Amino acid sequence: MSALNLRHLRVFLAVAELRSPTGAAQRCRVSQPAVTQSLNKLERDMGGGLFQRTRQGFFLTGRGQIFEARIRRAMDKLDAALHDVAPRLAVTATFSQLQALIAMSEAQNFTLAAHNMGLAQPTIHRAVTQVEQAAGRPLFERTSFGMVATRPCRRLAQSARLAFAEFDQAQADIAEFDGRDVGHTVIGALPLSRSVVLPEAIARFRMQRPGHRIKIFDGPYGEMLGGLRRGDIDVIIGALRDPLPIEDVVQEELFSDQLAFLCGPAHPLAGVDAPPLAELARYGWVVPRAGVPARAQFDALFCDNGLSAPDSIVECGSILLMRELLNRSALLGCISAQQAEAEVSRGLLARLRTRIVVPGRAIGLTYRVGWVPTTAQDVLLNHIRDVAREDVTTAPR
Please report, for the domain that includes residue 118, its CATH number. Answer: 1.10.10.10
Residue 145 sits in the same domain as residue 30: yes
Query: Where are any strands of DSSP class E within the chain?
Result: 51-54, 57-60, 140-143, 146-149, 184-189, 213-217, 235-239, 249-257, 259-263, 285-287, 313-315, 332-336, 350-351, 361-368
CA distance 15 to 150: 35
Number of domains present in the structure of the chain: 3
CA distance 260 to 276: 16
> Bridge partners of 232?
none
Domain containing residue 243? 181-255+362-394
Give residue 393's pLDDT.
52
Is 297 within the bounds of a domain? yes
Residue 115 sits in the same domain as residue 18: yes
Is 163 within the bounds of a domain? no
CB 382 within 8 A of CB 373: no
Mean pLDDT of the chain: 92
Residue 130 sits in the same domain as residue 29: yes
Is 131 within the bounds of a domain? yes
Is 225 within the bounds of a domain? yes
Residue 226 sits in the same domain as residue 84: no
Residue 373 sits in the same domain as residue 251: yes
Is 92 within the bounds of a domain? yes
337-345 and 319-327 are packed helices; what angle lies between their axes, rounded to 10 degrees? Answer: 50
Within the chain, which residues score under 50 in pLDDT?
A: 1-2, 396-397
Give residue 379's pLDDT.
97
Residue 90 sits in the same domain as residue 149: yes
CB 332 within 8 A of CB 259: no
* CATH (domain of 187): 3.40.190.10
pLDDT digits (tens, 9 = 90+) for 74-130: 999 999 999 999 999 998 999 999 999 999 999 999 999 999 999 999 999 999 999
Residue 108 sits in the same domain as residue 217: no
Residue 64 sits in the same domain as residue 111: yes
User: Is the torsion defined by CA of 282, 287, 290, 293 positive or negative?
Assistant: negative
Stretch (H or E) spanning 181? none
pLDDT digits (tens, 9 = 90+) for 162-191: 999 999 999 999 999 999 988 899 999 988
CA distance 16 to 224: 37
Q: How many residues does the chain have?
A: 397
Residue type, 158: Q
CA distance 42 to 177: 16
Give residue 1's pLDDT.
46
* Per-position b or e across 212-238, b if 16+ CB within 10 A of its CB: bebeebeeebeebbebbbbbebbbbbb
pTM equals 0.85
Residue 268 sits in the same domain as residue 355: yes
Give residue 192's pLDDT.
80
Instruction: Please tell me whether residue 147 adopts helix, strand or coil conformation.
Output: strand
Q: Which of 143, 158, 173 delimits the end of a domain?
A: 158
CA distance 188 to 236: 4
CA distance 391 to 176: 31
Is 166 within the bounds of a domain? no
Residue 367 sits in the same domain as residue 227: yes
Count CA atoms closer than 13 A to 283's CA, side-chain side. Answer: 22
Count CA atoms closer than 13 A to 122's CA, side-chain side. Answer: 0
Residue 21 sits in the same domain as residue 143: yes
Is 150 within the bounds of a domain? yes
CA distance 340 to 333: 10
* Per-position b or e across 98-128, b if 16+ CB within 10 A of its CB: bbbbbbbbebbbbebbbeebebeeeebbebb
Residue 253's φ and ψ, nearest 5 degrees, are: -75, 135
Residue 15 sits in the same domain as residue 99: yes
CA distance 344 to 329: 17
First and final CA of the chain: distance in angstroms?
A: 49
